[in-house]
A and B are shown apart, each in its own frame.
Chain A
Amino acid sequence: MLDETKPLFIAVAEQIEDGILDATYPEGSPVPSTNELAAFLRINPATAGKGLNRLVDAGVLVKRRGVGMFVAPGAIEQLRRRRREAFTQTYLVPLLREAAQLDITAHELAQMITKEASR
């Protein structure tokens, strides 16, 4: 469920980000509390809190004292921008490496993508 290739608190933050991007947590809505996340993911509450605070620092979440944490206005736009910047490294580079091993040219690859996308 969590991406184990990364420090746990970063995996927690990314899971919340995914929830924001797929509208599980719309802008302005509350996200799970530290203890709820810890119990659900079976991790230490301090680690869950560290993940949430990372998103507060990035401006993705806002803390309302005594109430909880909420998705900040503009969070979706911010996350999309950041993930687009990482898209090439995360997805395109490995894709092109595998394509090269299989002698698939960039042109063929583009055709495959177009075909798959129109299905």
Chain B
Amino acid sequence: MNALETRELSKHYRDVAAIDDVSISLEENRVHGLLGRNGAGKTTLMKLLTAQIFATSGSMRVLGEDPVENAGVLSQTCFIQESQKYPDGFRPLDVMRISQGLYPAWDQELARDLVADFRLPEKRAIRKLSRGQLSAVGIIIGLASRAPLTFFDEPYLGLDAVARRLFFDRLLADYAEHPRTIVLSTHHIDEVSNLLEHVVLLDEGKVMLDEEADALQSAAIEVSGRLTEVDEFTTTAEVLHTARIGALATATIVADGEQTAAAARAAGLDVAPVSLQNYIVHRTTAAAPAAAR
């Protein structure tokens, strides 16, 4: 079953299409990556899916139903926003108390463990917390709510490397024991790439990629060698990026499974993998000039 589906979903602000004709399906009980540059429409899409704003056109199903004014669906959905606002005078303790009443599957023991792990001062006013501590509040709510559908929007702004690792490990451990649908939106792609099973890449409100993470991992390769040989090998390939130094060159090309790599090696070229992060960078920068034309 799909945890969520959108069909030709669009959200316009005057002349700007923040979300433009998006049709995606996210299978339940998997970790999905919602990736893209700043301003690509990630947050807008999540706000639509959690009925915080309304679509201009198109349709969507969240946990099988229309989420708009649907308390049943919304109590099964947890949306951790990057810029979550809290009422004046609220402390992390108050936020957790309210969340406990809001989410039927809330696990108080997990929340307590996470507060200790992140060393969160739970009795300090939220407006006095650092950016990292604020992110920790969101992470704790997102994990302890155990909502069947959880959105994390840039969950680790301001967190140091230790805390990011902690988030990662606790998310993995809890997800393994309590499978649920998780949508992770971030531009720190390399850090999360091993966690994702499926990736949706947005660019200027449109879906640019909608693929299994496995397939993306071998979707492109980098070939390098003598300029003439690289040129000859890449004439028939879809080239995403090239660089040259003197008589040497490297090219990032779209690969057709193992065959492309084998052919490159047979042609005497060196072959290196392309990380998800680099693949996406090349994809989004290669698209920019094409769109401007």
Contacts and interface: CB of A to CB of B under 8 A. Distances in A.
Interface in A38-92: 38-39, 41-47, 50
A15 interface: no
A22 interface: no
Given A4-B273, A7-B214, A9-B214, A46 B172 contact: no
Nearest to B179: A45
The secondary structure that dominates the A interface is helix
Given A7-B214, A8-B214, A8-B217, A45 B30 contact: no
Interface stretch (B97-105, B144-152, B194-202): B194-202
A72 B22 CA distance: 47
Contacts of A7: 214, 217-218
A118 interface: no
Residues of B in contact with A, size category: 20 to 34
A39 B172 contact: yes
Contacts of B30: 46
Given A4-B273, A5-B273, A8-B217, A42 B176 contact: no
A102 to B, nearest CB: 15
Contacts of B172: 38-39, 42, 44-45
Contacts of B194: 8, 41-44, 47
Contact of A5 (B168, B195, B214, B272): B272
A38 B214 contact: no
B169 interface: yes
Interface in B223-270: 268
Interface string B149-177: 00000000000000000001100110111
Contacts of A50: 214
Nearest to B214: A7
Given A7-B214, A7-B217, A47-B214, A42 B169 contact: yes
Contacts of A34: 176
Interface in A1-39: 4-9, 34-35, 38-39
B19 interface: no
Contacts of B34: none
Given A35-B176, A38-B172, A38-B176, A43 B218 contact: no
Contact of A39 (B176, B196, B272): B176
A46 B172 CA distance: 11
Nearest to A4: B273
Contacts of A46: 30, 197
B140 interface: no
B147 to A, nearest CB: 19
Contacts of A45: 172, 175-176
B18 interface: no
A41 B195 CA distance: 10
B31 interface: yes
Contacts of B196: 44
Interface string B187-205: 0000000111100000000
Contacts of A6: 218, 273
Contact of B169 (A4, A5, A39): A39
Contacts of B31: 44
23 contacts: A4-B273, A6-B218, A7-B218, A8-B217, A34-B176, A35-B173, A35-B176, A35-B177, A38-B172, A38-B176, A39-B173, A39-B176, A42-B169, A42-B194, A42-B195, A44-B31, A44-B213, A45-B172, A45-B175, A47-B194, A47-B197, A47-B213, A97-B268
Given A8-B213, A45-B175, 15 more contacts: A4-B273, A5-B273, A7-B217, A38-B172, A39-B172, A42-B169, A43-B194, A43-B195, A44-B196, A44-B197, A45-B176, A46-B30, A47-B197, A47-B213, A47-B214
